[in-house]
Structure 1
Amino acid sequence: MGFPFWFPQYQPPKPPVKARPDVPSRSLSASAIAFSVAAGVSTAAAVSQNSNAPILQDALNFVLSNISPNGNNNRSSPLWGSLSLAADPSSVNEPKTGASFPSVLGDSRRLLGVGVRRKSVFGLKNIDVYAFGVYADSGEIKEVLGEKYGKASHSELENKELIDDLKNSDVCMTVRLQIVYGKLSIRSVRSAFEESVGNRLQKFSGSESSDNKELLQRFTSLFKDEYKIPRGSIIDLSRELGSVVRTTIDGKEVGSIQSKLLCRSILDLYIGDDPFDRKAKEEIEQNLASLFQKSPQEEKQANHPWLLNKTLVFV
């Protein structure tokens, strides 16, 4: 497995990122559901020592030239933060990188959780590559999954089947990536997706078929060398109706591909069994479950429906 990110030159940590202006979004209604859970940072996988990888030497030079003897190069940052979507939210910051994400994309895609994609260079230095936010259409979630989970108990909502059902459905979703590493090239992004998405395509199809390779090539070819992605750049990977993956870079659509397998493979990177950020997935699971949780009054009425009728009699 090749090292998926190329770091030509180490750049000292910079102040928190300010997100680029996004498409104006409508504010939530006063009755919008509030989410408040923990977000964090996952453990990054160590890079494979493949001597045939042409970018391996660059990574080695980066490590040897930037690690101090006393080991104080790593930034200190909180491992936990909170995501709160109030009645009139504007944005949410990913706690480790400071990257800002709007609480709503378009009209109805609500932010379910934020996290960070990290890479470990030989297990010696962790790099924050990009922060990400996972969005989903809350109305479609209730419509598509409501029959199965609308009357579910709290313990049933915590079952991992809920997030799996969301991943395998056709609910409109967006994973927004915000670049936080200043020297990341589009070639590195293309290489990273070749590895990570390629592994998922093989996982879900059970083979390395020529069809899978062609599908992967169609997707990665969208990230052309002409696109520049400086620190703060935004990449949106959206699942639209009909299992269409729509990709945009800084608001410009670069291509769409219809493939349920590709949709599932991309979402699996963030909400699958082995996600990039486990704390972010836990946050998303809890916020997703909260969409179906009833208030104490609703729970009481559901358990004792005769109370409503009796109240009406005595009024």
Structure 2
Amino acid sequence: MDDRRPCEVETGCGPCGEIYLQNLAWSRNAVEPRTGIQFPTMLDNIITGENTSFTPEVLVGTGSRTMTIIRIKSLKLYAFGFYVHPSDVCEKLGPKYACIPEYELNKRQDFYQDLLREDINMTVRLVVSCNGIKINTVRDAFEKSLRARLMRTNPDADHHCLHTFGSIFSQDIPLHEGTTINFHRTADGKLITEVGGNQLGAVQSKDLCRAFFDMYIGDVPVCEQTKEEIGKNVASIVSTC
């Protein structure tokens, strides 16, 4: 019988995850190895709708997405960085997981599910790594994956949120090499989309938020290696709570 009790962790504290932040302080950027694209280790002044958070989100994983053109050649479409808010992680996950060793924590599927389920500010930043990608190509790719994941995570979800999300990409925005696209989930369940630093729109839907980030840390992620990296680094944050 497992008689372990929840860890005693103070919630809502300012210095939560401070050790992890200090470990990042030596470097301003991290490099995604396959594309060579740099990502800031911290995202400052995250737009959250009406307000701006001045507490940085921290980078916990990077990866890239490629498309096979012919059998022997692949096209690097974009690199991505995954960010979380460390104090949110401590507040929401610390009481349950802070006593569990890091090497065990990142292998537990309930840990990833709680990371998706809880109201934690997080961001996926994409950086386009080639020219010629169309904004509607980005929309179509995400809509297809999101529809399938919405059905799996919550069959009763209101799929109107997908239409609203797709309408954000109606503008003919050029996506050149180096263009940044941010998808930010707020703690109150809003998915905010920015392209090149400009906010395009927001969708209020916790189901959509969960389905979107499920692409990166859920079942059948975009990159399994990156999911493991994210798990290890979030577990490292939890250990400092």
Q: TM-score, normalised by structure 2?
A: 0.82
Deviation at 1:162, TM superposition (A): 1.5
- Residue 33 in structure 1 maps to residue 20 in structure 2: yes
Computing the radius of gyration over CA atoms, which structure comes out larger, 1 or 2?
1
Q: 2:132 aligns with which of 156, 175, 183?
A: 183
Q: Kindly indicate whether the alpha-carbon contact (under 8 Å) linking 1:131 and 1:180 is maintained by their aligned counterparts in 2.
A: yes
What is the match of residue 218 of structure 1?
Answer: 164
**Percent of counterpart pairs with the same letter?**
34
3-state DSSP of counterpart to 1:188: helix
Q: 2:36 aligns with which of 98, 102, 105?
A: 98
Q: Kindly indicate whether the alpha-carbon contact (under 8 Å) linking 2:102 and 2:236 is maintained by their aligned counterparts in 1.
A: no
Rounded Cα–Cα distance in structure 2 between residues aligned with 1:167 and 1:142: 14
Alignment of 1:36-47 (within 5 A): none
Deviation at 1:156, TM superposition (A): 4.0
What is the match of residue 88 of structure 2?
Answer: 140
Encode CA deviations 1:90-132: one digit per residue, 9 max, x unaligned. Answer: 0111011011110001132000000001223465532211100
Q: Work out the number of aligned pairs and report it.
A: 213
Q: Kindly indicate whether the alpha-carbon contact (under 8 Å) linking 2:102 and 2:232 is maintained by their aligned counterparts in 1.
A: no
Q: TM-score, normalised by structure 1?
A: 0.63
- What is the identity, as a one-letter code, of the residue corresponding to 1:258? Q
Query: In the superposition, relative to structure 1, how do residues 135 and 157 fare at CA in structure 2: closer, same or farther (>3 Å)?
Result: same
Rounded Cα–Cα distance in structure 2 between residues aligned with 1:91 and 1:155: 25
Give the structure with the higher percent strand.
2
Alignment of 1:160-239 (within 5 A): 160-206=109-155, 211-212=158-159, 214-239=160-185
3-state DSSP of counterpart to 1:238: strand
Q: Kindly indicate whether the alpha-carbon contact (under 8 Å) linking 1:108 and 1:139 is maintained by their aligned counterparts in 2.
A: no
Encode CA deviations 1:59-98: one digit per residue, 9 max, x unaligned. Answer: xxxxxxxxxxxxxxxxxxxxxxxxxx53332011101101
Q: Kindly indicate whether the alpha-carbon contact (under 8 Å) linking 2:128 and 2:178 is maintained by their aligned counterparts in 1.
A: yes
- What is the identity, as a one-letter code, of the residue corresponding to 1:268? D
Q: 1:152 aligns with which of 100, 105, 110?
A: 100
What is the match of residue 225 of structure 2?
Answer: 279
* Structure 1 residue ranges without an equivalent (≥5): 1-30, 36-84, 295-315
- What is the identity, as a one-letter code, of the residue corresponding to 2:154? S
Query: In the superposition, relative to structure 1, how do residues 269 and 122 fare at CA in structure 2: closer, same or farther (>3 Å)?
Result: farther
Deviation at 1:204, TM superposition (A): 1.7
Rounded Cα–Cα distance in structure 1 between residues aligned with 2:189 and 2:21: 29
3-state DSSP of counterpart to 1:110: strand
- What is the identity, as a one-letter code, of the residue corresponding to 2:114? D
Deviation at 1:224, TM superposition (A): 2.2
Encode CA deviations 1:221-272: one digit per residue, 9 max, x unaligned. Answer: 1112321111110110000121110111111111111101100110011111
Q: Kindly indicate whether the alpha-carbon contact (under 8 Å) linking 1:175 and 1:238 is maintained by their aligned counterparts in 2.
A: yes
Rounded Cα–Cα distance in structure 1 between residues aligned with 2:124 and 2:101: 28
Deviation at 1:153, TM superposition (A): 3.0
Alignment of 1:286-305 (within 5 A): 286-293=232-239
